[in-house]
């Protein structure tokens, strides 16, 4: 009997957990209707249609848009970290004379470093092939 009772209790708990998760997701999807992601719905639906994704539900489209936005934001923030790190190293070399208050520019170097962690290999084409430092890692080159 004890065994039966304990056995009965477990499904209830998992059922409640499931219910919580479900409720959370349902709530989240409902809130997505009010939230406007940066990536527009038309664009997402166009590309999802190209790959065979069929769903008339707007919430799912918004979910995909939000997921993509999260992905891009993560990549961009990683690139920003790389950019800041590089600038910090420069400032350290030159001393604290100048504060780098300039706008941070997203460059190909930072982006390729950030994307490497996501499994995307992006390499910028070199302009001049005849210099000896061609093809070397940018960090080893002098800025």
Partner 1 sequence: MNNGGGANTHPDNEHASTNKPADDGFGLAVARVAVAQICESVGFGGSRGSTLDSLADIAVRYIRDIGMASRFYSNLAGRCQCNVFDIIRTLEDLGNFQGFSCASAVRNCIAGSGTMKDIMEHVEMAEEIPFAHTLPWFPIARERRPIPSFDRLGEIPPGNHIPSWLPALPDPHTYKRTLVWNERKPDPRAEKLEQVKQRRKAERALLNLQQRMAIYGQGGASASSYVPNVDVKGTQFMVKEGSVKFAPPLQMGEEDVSVLNVPDVLADRLTTENHGSIMEAFVSAIDAMRDQFSDDANEDEVGRSKVLPDRRHSVRFKFKMSKKVLGHSLDLDIRNRIIGKHFSVIEREEERDDKKRRAACILKQSMENPEELTQL
Contacting positions for partner 1 (CB under 8 A): 14, 17-18, 20-22, 24-25, 28-29, 31-32, 35-40, 42-44, 46-56, 59-60, 63-64, 66-73, 75-77, 79-80, 101-108, 111, 115, 117-120, 122, 124
- For partner 1, the closer CB: 1 or 102: 102
Distance of closest approach, residue 18 Cβ to partner 1, in angstroms:
4
11: left (phi over 0), alpha (psi -120 to 50) or beta: alpha
Going by C-alpha positions, the residue among 113, 115, 91 that lies closest to residue 102 is 91
- Token digits for 67? 């997921």
CB-nearer residue toward partner 1: 97 or 102: 102
How far apart are CB 91 and partner 1 at their closest, in Å?
14
Q: What is the dihedral of CA 89, 94, 96, 100, to 10 degrees?
A: -60
């Amino acid at each position: 009997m004890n065994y039966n009772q304990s056995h009965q209790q477990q499904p209830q708990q998992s059922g409640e957990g499931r219910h919580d998760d479900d409720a959370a997701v349902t709530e989240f999807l409902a809130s997505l209707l009010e939230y406007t992601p940066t990536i527009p719905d038309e664009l997402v639906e166009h590309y999802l249609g190209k790959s065979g994704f069929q769903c008339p539900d707007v919430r799912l489209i918004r979910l995909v848009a939000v997921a993509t936005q999260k992905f891009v934001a993560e990549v961009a923030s990683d690139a920003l970290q790389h950019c800041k790190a590089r600038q910090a190293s420069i400032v350290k070399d030159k001393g604290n004379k100048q504060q780098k208050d300039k706008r941070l520019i997203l460059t190909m170097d930072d982006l390729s470093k950030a994307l490497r962690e996501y499994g995307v290999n992006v390499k910028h084409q070199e302009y001049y092939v005849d210099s000896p430092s061609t093809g070397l890692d940018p960090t080893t080159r002098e800025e």
